[in-house]
Chains A and B, each alone.
Chain A
């Protein structure tokens, strides 16, 4: 079975600084996708960034970028120029290309300090 591990329950960053959230996963599948989702206090799940496992190039979306290390099964999220609105719970997620199931990590609560 696939597992997703986020080892940082809480992180904090100063506004305008950079922070990296860690995620590791375990799988024997070759067809999969990885995601970072943001869950603000409203609890609506918001897609932050997506990475196809077959792509070597790291995904980037504005201030958000990932460091995808396939061999190490590592998928970290870097948030640059942190803003107060980035404060939320962040989930790393694994999508199986075989089953279509989306499996989430434990989550990291990010605090942004003004």
Chain B
């Protein structure tokens, strides 16, 4: 149980285009989802907290206009990287709280390459 499906697993896009990453909770309702960014062999950096039906809360230094987060339903949160540039290339991971205070599960991640 408590599975989060993240798609796509890999995406290559051209500089200046936008790309959408989806995270779906398959067997539970996720009122809160988190989006992380991870550079190779580095830590997961929290980008934003996504709450169903309300605006996302972004961490300091994260451009909210570049990284658009939508959490329109209890099972789906999306991250759209707008006007992508090569420096946006990274590994993006979503996470959802599924039980109590400390039940968290992670998506399998999306490797974004901007060329």
| A residues in contact (CB < 8 Å) with B | 33, 35, 42-45, 47, 50, 52, 89, 91, 95, 97, 100-107, 109
Contacts and interface: CB of A to CB of B under 8 A. Distances in A.
A17 B34 CA distance: 36
Q: Secondary structure at chain B's binding surface: helix, strand, loop or mixed? A: strand
Contact of B43 (A43, A47, A101, A106): A106
Q: Secondary structure at chain A's binding surface: helix, strand, loop or mixed? A: strand
Chain B interface extent, by class = 20 to 34
B41 A101 contact: no
Interface of B: 32, 34, 38, 41-46, 49, 91, 93, 95, 97, 101-102, 104, 106, 108-109
B101 A101 contact: no
B97 A104 contact: no
Which has the most chain A C-beta neighbours within 10 Å: B46, B95, B97, B101?
A: B101
B42 A107 contact: yes
B49 A101 contact: yes
Given A101-B34, A103-B46, A43 B41 contact: no
